[in-house]
Structure 1
Amino acid sequence: MISKLMAGIYWLISKVMLFWHTVWDSILPDHRVLSTNWQWVLAIVFLVITVRVVLFPIFVKQIKSQRAMQAIQPKMKELQEKHKGDRETLQKEVMKLYQEEKVNPLMGCLPMFLQIPVFIGLLHVLRHLRPGQSEHQQTLYGWTVKEFESAVDARLFDAPIVAKFSSSAADLLKIDASSTAVKIVAAILVALMITTTYLTQRQMIKKTGWNSDPQQRMIQKFMLYGIPFFTLTSGWYFPIGVIIYWVTNNAITLGQQYWVLHKYPPPANANTTTTPFKAGGKQTADAKQPSGFGALFSKAREQAAAQQRTNGKGGPVKATGVKANGAKANGAAPEPAGPSRAPKPGAKPINPKKGGAAKRQSG
């Protein structure tokens, strides 16, 4: 059953690629430009575009589902505190909350799961494109012999799209490929794949913030660092055509996320941290601490309020080291209370030195 299903996926992927190859072959010149067969490269690019157009409504539902999950985080936290230590009851209450709020936590992963068969199908088809195959093998999945041979010989900057970084010298010799060209092109594409994979996750987390729930934050960290690490370790074994698919898919994801995140902005939520982006940041939108002079004055007001509560008096209380007007005392003695020593209007000013000397003479 599974083998028949996958054979159908291989056939469908091949048909979409061959369709776009026919389209671009009728538009572009029938020879290499910049050592590249752009008909086949664009066939892979538009395979991605076709898949993303089909999945776009599901992608929008994914974003809405993530928004709904963020909106119910306060209720989730209440349930976790209420049923702390009772895992079974907590799970029942969480499922009940999902039903009441009409939230499906699996919807957030659905687009990625639906793209996995496409990725596997393309990987299988490109690995199937090998020289020396019999005519029966060449015509599998709806290919003609001419299309098969053209795809095997297709190149991106002189690197065959069916080659990979780890291809042996014997395999490259069969398709008349340069090992240097293959390794350079493959390395650049793998670097782009890692970078764009990281940026797609960073874009989402930077906009929505880090989740305060430890399990959800762990998932976010895995998506941010784990998947790029997977692409780093496995990208060297992917054919160049598959890496083209991955980089194109990430680029489209960045554009779609930018549009959706601006059209459906994330809700204000106290359970997520704010920018600037910092992995695992602890500062929240509702708990920003003042700094500098703001922190000094805030501390002084807290001390004054605490002293008022202690004394039980309603009058103003001087905070230690801080004047009533908010200036720092710097250890100066407080001004004595009493009548003002300022001269009255029109009165002759008194020189304190002369006055003091006169008093000593008279004495």
Structure 2
Amino acid sequence: MLRYTLYLLFLLTQFAHAQSTKKPLRVGVVGLVHTHVHGILNKAFKQPNQTDIEIVGIAEPNRELAERFAKQHGYSMSLVYATVAEMLDKTKPEAVTDFGRIVDHKKTVEACAPRGIHVMVEKPLATSFADAKQMEALAKKNNIQLLTNYETTWYGSNHKAYALANTEKAVGDLRKIVVHDGHQGPKEIGVNKEFLDWLTDPVANGAGALFDFGCYGANLSTWLMHNQRPVSVLAVTQQIKPDIYPKVDDEGTIILTYPQTQTIIQASWNWPFARKDMEVYGQTGYVFTVDGTRMRIRLKDEKVEHAAEATLADAPATDPFAYLARLLHGETKPDELTSLENNIIVMEILDAARQSAKTGKAITLHK
């Protein structure tokens, strides 16, 4: 018994030692013009006890912006480089997180992939399907992870809904998916000028609300449908506020048809409140996600729906950067929502949606 106790203590000591000596993932940040960057800056510089990541360099040509964020988050300007190449060569990160313009994601992969540096970009993956395919080829050739980060990936409610619909088959075969995403508008909610300038540019962002929020629904639908490509894509866009957004749509609806399922994606800069929620209907029941944790469910033979609660533990990680570190350290399996396979299909859908909105015709996706 004593020998067993001593052996157990030895194992616990070794585990504790391994935990204490595990090095944070060395991360480079590419761009500061996407305000989702505050998430990683807060984690790296305002959470002293976190051991997931270490920011070793920041590539941002806008010195004024970098200095403004340095004052806000407390990082040294010695971390900031004017170009991506200089930052990569001087700091040697294991991975980069891209918070630049969507159109520049390809340039980041072109710089990182040959150096063997993994990449996580903010959603969506690219501004065109052609760019996405080139990025995919570079990632596969150089054996790097190329991930796309969505806020909704870290919602426990989405993962619990997936389990009910697909793992437990609690609602029967899927028939309709409805996804609502957006807010009152980027200018209306007060995003900074650097973000607003490119977000409302059809070249830099790919579209307006259609891409900014349509990508969430395409990502979730592709996941729920096990990476099945839709048969056709039909989209309608509007400029309800052309005085504010003269160059891009501020309202977009996308309909995806599958052999036995339909998805409706409602992307908008005109919602009265910010929302990211989803309705999943099967033959015998439904599950709604209200936000990151709250849900409403009605299953077969139930006369009324009931409320349910998900937790952070239902998601693959508490935040994308903890997940990135765990994935690259071999401590977790790849998540389908962030995966390149899923997001190549997302870009095919978004590209077709943009074409459909322009032509007024449904776009058939050929096999």
Q: TM-score, normalised by structure 1?
A: 0.19
Higher relative helix content: 1
Q: TM-score, normalised by structure 2?
A: 0.19
Q: Which has the higher contact order (CA 8 A, sep 6+)?
A: 2
Higher relative strand content: 2
